[in-house]
Amino acid sequence: MQTIIEPFRIKSVEPIRLTTRAERDQLIAEAGFNPFKLRADDVTIDLLTDSGTSAMSANQWGALMRGDESYAGAKSWYRFRDTVREIFGFEHVVPTHQGRAAERILFSLTVKPGQIVPNNTHFDTTRANIESQGGVAVDLPCAASADPNTPAPFKGDMDLDALAALLEAHGPAQIPLVMITVTNNSAGGQPVSLANIEAAADLAHAHGVPFYVDACRFAENAWLIKQREPGCADLSVREIVRRMLAKADGCTMSAKKDAFANIGGFLCTRDPVLAQQERDLLILTEGYPTYGGLAGRDLEAIAVGLQEVLDPDYLAYRTTSIGYVVDRLHALGVPVVRPAGGHAIYLDAKAMLPHIEPLAYPGQALCVALYQEAGIRGVEIGTVMFGYDPHTDSERPAKWELVRLAVPRRVYTQSHMDYVIEAVNAVYARRHEIRGLKIVSAPKFLRHFTAAFDWR
Ligand code: F0G
């Protein structure tokens, strides 16, 4: 069969409240033209994030009842730890309440003021956790990532020449670790090739520097390697995951993505001394080392989800449904980042709305238009998110003006995706009418979450 179906049936449904255009115009104005400030109930299709928004399976819900809530050494902990060990291949597993807690623990033990941490592209919490230690987070995306329209297979790759030059110039005294993010969320959700991961690890190790993977979307990345990388088609997803991590000294993970959990994360290492230091820190703020801020039932849900996400039928459906939206939009002439990545559709607001200058926030204007048109909630990744420098109190255009439509896992069906395509196309057709915005109020840090806007 040519038709790729959702490989699940629906046992429990959540109603979507439908709104009128007039209601949405009023609601978004009341929210200061910032979709973060809408009530979720006022959103028809919520594509704000794929994080913590997955639908759990019947097996996951069943496993919740098995949750052992003993404070220390619960059965759920051992099931969780053994699953992570089996899939990821690391000896030491430290549970955390979500990905950024793993980042905070890792970087507070490894990064000293002035030290540099390179990454293909740091996610914003990764960057913030490095910077809060006084470190310098450096992005080294590959050249192909700069053009949203080049359909190169691995636009998430790291620029290896730039990494080699950085390692040569600064060495292990100044670079406590090298990190690579799979898939590269902040650069269009694009995958990283196995060859690139292995070469980056080899380069780091040749300079005596540890190598880490931000593994949030490890299964989607592995699947895209299987589809796109020469020589990998016959490897199983599990084998690819093991190879992605085989040369790594550790990883951070948000179980809110590729573990189908609504909360959770972990930190892994092969180093017993570092693992002990991590557990010592964990006890201070997260919890005892066998639960790390999670309930026993959360550990169960993650253990089941990590196995389920490796199902090739699921991964084929997941990447096909994202690719379907990207290809249809491209065929309609809508500027969209290509090729499709693993978890989101990225609209190119700069190309779509050239009449809106960067400091009038074309990405934000597009988000507002999508909500008004059809109740779709996406997120701006552009000058609102990255354009303000709190140290100099000044603003400058960001590199990209994108709108991310992140697709929650196993939540929406093909007809929801068709609705999204129709809505984006309708907004595209009236793009010349869309106006720029100005900021009315905003905090100094992470302003995109709470800023209020008005029309220019
Ligand atoms: N690393 C990457 C690549 C991420 O995308 C995220 C979260 C994190 C780390 C932090 O994990 O949320 O569990 O603390 N990304 C979400 C998003 C929030 O919408 O892309 P967390």
How close is the Cα of 311 to the center of ligand 1, in Å? 22
Q: Which of 121, 185, 258, 294 to mutate to test the pocket of ligand 1 (most atoms within 8 A of CB)?
A: 185
Distance CA 123, CA 130 (A): 11
Q: Mind listing the domains of the chain with CATH numbers? A: 21-50+311-455 (3.90.1150.10), 58-308 (3.40.640.10)
> Strands, E, within 162-218: which ranges?
178-181, 211-214
Q: Which of 51, 124, 267, 346 to mutate to test the pocket of ligand 1 (most atoms within 8 A of CB)?
A: 51
Q: What is the pLDDT along the chain (456 residues), one digit of tens a residue?
A: 888 899 999 999 999 999 999 999 999 999 999 999 999 999 999 999 999 999 999 999 999 999 999 999 999 999 999 999 999 999 999 999 999 999 999 999 999 999 999 999 999 899 999 999 999 999 999 999 988 888 899 999 999 999 999 999 999 999 999 999 999 998 889 999 999 999 999 999 999 999 999 999 999 999 999 999 999 999 999 999 999 999 999 999 999 999 999 999 999 999 999 999 999 999 999 999 999 999 999 999 999 999 999 999 999 999 999 999 999 999 999 999 999 999 999 999 999 999 999 999 999 999 999 999 999 999 999 999 989 987 888 999 998 899 999 999 999 999 999 999 999 999 999 999 999 999 999 998 889 999 999 999
Distance CA 226, CA 436 (A): 42
The dihedral through the CA atoms of 272, 273, 276, 281 has a sign that is negative
Q: Which residue in 91, 130, 258, 124 sits closest to 191, CA to CA?
A: 258
Distance CA 385, CA 377 (A): 16
Question: Does the predicted TM-score (pTM) go above 0.95?
Answer: yes
Contact, 428 vs 334, CB < 8 A?
yes
How close is the Cα of 332 to the center of ligand 1, in Å? 31
Distance CA 366, CA 29 (A): 14
Q: What is the per-residue pLDDT for 369?
A: 98
Give, using CA atoms, the residue closest to atom 12 of ligand 1: 99
How close is the Cα of 410 to the center of ligand 1, in Å? 18
How close is the Cα of 187 to the center of ligand 1, in Å? 13
Tell me the sheet residues that pair with 405: 345
Tokens 């609102």 found at:
384
String of DSSP letters for 218-246: HHHHHHHHHHHSTT-TTS-HHHHHHHHHH
Three-state DSSP class for residue 36: helix
How close is the Cα of 406 to the center of ligand 1, in Å? 12
Q: Which of 254, 263, 343, 380 to mutate to test the pocket of ligand 1 (most atoms within 8 A of CB)?
A: 254
Whether the ω angle into residue 19 lies within 30 degrees of 0, i.e. cis, is no
Q: What is the per-residue pLDDT for 2?
A: 81
Please give all residues whose beta carbon lies within 6 A of any atom in ligand 1, as ranges.
Answer: 49, 51, 98-100, 123, 125-126, 181, 185, 214, 216, 254, 256, 265
Give, using CA atoms, the residue closest to atom 2 of ligand 1: 123
Structure tokens at 213: 């993977």
Contact, 107 vs 129, CB < 8 A?
yes
Residue 410: phi and psi, rounded to 5, are 65, 20
Contact, 178 vs 120, CB < 8 A?
no
Contact, 344 vs 404, CB < 8 A?
yes
Give, using CA atoms, the residue closest to atom 8 of ligand 1: 99
Q: Which residue in 188, 239, 247 sits closest to 213, CA to CA?
A: 247
How close is the Cα of 254 to the center of ligand 1, in Å? 6
Contact, 292 vs 286, CB < 8 A?
yes
How close is the Cα of 99 to the center of ligand 1, in Å? 6
